[in-house]
Structure 1
């Protein structure tokens, strides 16, 4: 497959591929091989303005389009995705370092997201409410918010961008996408290609590839978009929230996580260890929902560590395009250096290395640390890499306390043979999502997705996405004329 497609070196604005107007470039590298795949002439503020204006012009036309015409385009979008299945999966593998397993999961989930979003076409409803005023009724209409700015991430680039784009379009909005610089194709430029081929109106989906230092703040502050949807770090999310708040814009912010698996003393140790290995090391741990801390009751701690270590030893690290590889490269070498520093600092504070792997550029074999406390860097920080800290808890009460001792609250897990009790424990952990007898990486297109505390604002998916990407208008109707006291 020839990855160097000419269009993917350009911006996608108003249905056309055009050179970016910036003097700077964005280089796109394969994180496994280090090969430069393509160089993109970056966008400047003029390009950004052109994209937003194109989106603004077409949005009311799209919103007014007949239901049948919209449905046909979404059906065509699914067909286009299926036709490009292998091409998209290979892009995810080569651009983000995803294993074939992870890339396939990501693609299939994206198709499901499009199908779920298509159902929104007939699920947007209003209300008629009674009035205390005689002969009056109140009608509540739900309409699109207008133009949505979408900032895509690099870790699950295709799915997490689709999670904003497909619902936004289905609810009558238009979008401008700013993809992550590490994955400009899979979190951005691919969307221009597939939506154009599916027959959506020109200008409905626009893609601007630019440096954050040049257009980042302007992307949020621009007067046209009424909402910004962002998936990424809490640090950047705070900045986006600050700019959006100043400009009275709505936001959907899906941010960082420090997710726990609490393994209670009655848990099935083998099943818990297997789930922990998947939830920790899928995509090298570079997932906002990935397990960050594994908290184990002291009664089964040693047995769990032994079982978990044996499973992790068998996970193959290497070329993500190899079907047998489970752990591929980190997105760049800076991430490896950050993780190595956190490990060193944690060991200096008393953590013990249970399993230590080698490092080869962006490839990092899994690391397991025991004797970890919640204040150590590997437990306190969002790891976003193949490092598994295991924390011993004296009992269930202490496990819950440790779990909640974090500014984050995205996802989590509880393992126990008593399902009802597992739900009761899950209720006590302050997080937006948590799973009993499963690991923390779960996302289904019809179920609410989002976090608490520093993990974000708002919910994605299903009816929660309809709520987020639309607004309501109250129109009252007076049947006959009202008497006024004048």
Structure 2
């Protein structure tokens, strides 16, 4: 220590943050960047998905304007990506790019940000495993899997993508899971009883149907075959899939379930890790100590023991590993992302130097 020196650490605003949000949960996934960024002293340039521009942008801007936020602190642009191009990424003024969306776009953002020494907060795609171990309560595991696979028609980055089941409980799980799937009500999303509603657009429907047809062509057994009804795709369930199959290694943003058999609990965890993604995950077991041990072995930003993979909270570290993202949202972790650390030392008495 240097005599007479006081050290202080400050966290200062970055300045301007570029924010880009997706169509699913547009208000929540916009506000989780906008609110903390402004609270920490930054201004924001925000672009919501044009398909959900009102709830992801216009309403938020109007609310902040009504609250008295000074003009220019929050700037919302309603534009198509083809029109704006990489403008929000290459502009030298923003110091951080906050993006929620696909891994492919995230890689593109990463390349630009790296060249320009910009920070990133990226929450990208997922291939989230739901591992049912040999001692799991099958009924409760089925309850969790039904919710974690089909909530919001599967259009969630944290949705269960692969259901990996120990061979000892595999048959029971498949029987009970498929029986429940066949009973799920679908159709008009304004009906509170509806579980499976429409996908966002025609492109997403066509993409899901291509995945289904490819899995059929690959010889994967279809235990529940759904149908298309307008923009509603009713649930499909594939069983006995190989963890390395295309359907198992593809992010399924649709009500399509893939069930995989594991010969041991450790193999279930190994298969859970056998993906380029690492966003969310889940482990079902009657032994909570074992569950936590296995949870730590899964290379993902978030793992839930005896729950499904779709969980969020404002006071936890939300984010992914590997190709699922960079950085963490949630308080206090977002403070690290949206500020810069500054060291100031104050020499209160004369310092003697050696020369």
User: TM-score under structure 2 normalisation?
Assistant: 0.98
Structure 1 residue 481: deviation in Å?
2.1
Deviations 1:129-166 (A, max 9, x none): xxx22211211111111111110111111111111111
Instruction: Output aligned runs, 1:444-463, within 5 Å.
Output: 444-463=313-332
Map residues 217-256 of structure 1 onto 2, 5 A cutoff. 217-256=86-125
SS class of match (2:223): strand
Structure 1 counterpart of 2:71: 202
Q: Secondary structure at the match of 1:137?
A: strand
2 CA distance for matches of 1:197 and 1:320? 31
Aligned residues: 355
**Aligned residue number for residue 278 of structure 1:** 147
Alignment-derived partner of residue 188 in structure 1:
57
SS at match of 1:377: coil
| Correspondence for 1:13 | none
1:295 maps to which of 164, 181, 184: 164
CA distance in 2, matches of 1:439, 1:402: 17
User: Following superposition of structure 1 onto structure 2, how do residues 4-403 of structure 1 map, counting pairs within 5 Å?
Assistant: 132-403=1-272
Q: Following TM superposition, by how much is the alpha carbon of 1:377 offset from its aligned partner in structure 2, in angstroms?
A: 2.2
Measured after TM superposition, the shift of residue 466 of structure 1 is 1.2
Q: Is the 8 A contact 1:152 1:188 kept in 2?
A: no
In the alignment, what sits opposite 1:433? 302
TM-superposed CA distance for 1:217, in Å, is: 0.5
Secondary structure of the corresponding residue to residue 97 of structure 2: strand
Deviation at 1:478, TM superposition (A): 0.6
Higher relative helix content: 1
**Residue 277 (structure 1) shift:** 0.6
Tell me how far 1:405 sits from its aligned partner. 0.7
The Cα of 1:172 is off from its aligned counterpart by: 1.0
Shift of 1:198: 1.5
The CA deviation string for residues 307-348 of structure 1, in whole angstroms up to 9 with x for no partner, is: 111222221111111111111111111111111111221222
How big is the shift at 1:483?
2.2
CA offset digits 1:387-422 (Å, max 9, x no partner): 000001111121111111100000010001111111
CA drift of 1:350 comes to 2.2
Q: Which runs of 5+ in 2 are unaligned?
A: none
Greater RCO (Cα-Cα under 8 Å, separation 6 or more): 2
Instruction: Output the aligned Cα RMSD.
Output: 1.1
| TM-score where L is the length of structure 1 | 0.72
Structure 1: runs of 5+ lacking an equivalent: 1-131
- What SS does the aligned partner of 1:422 have? helix
1:193 match: secondary structure: helix
2:37 is paired with a residue of what secondary structure?
Answer: helix
- Separation of aligned partners in 1, 2:130 and 2:339: 35
Partner residue in 2 for 1:96 = none
Q: CA deviation at 1:464?
A: 0.2
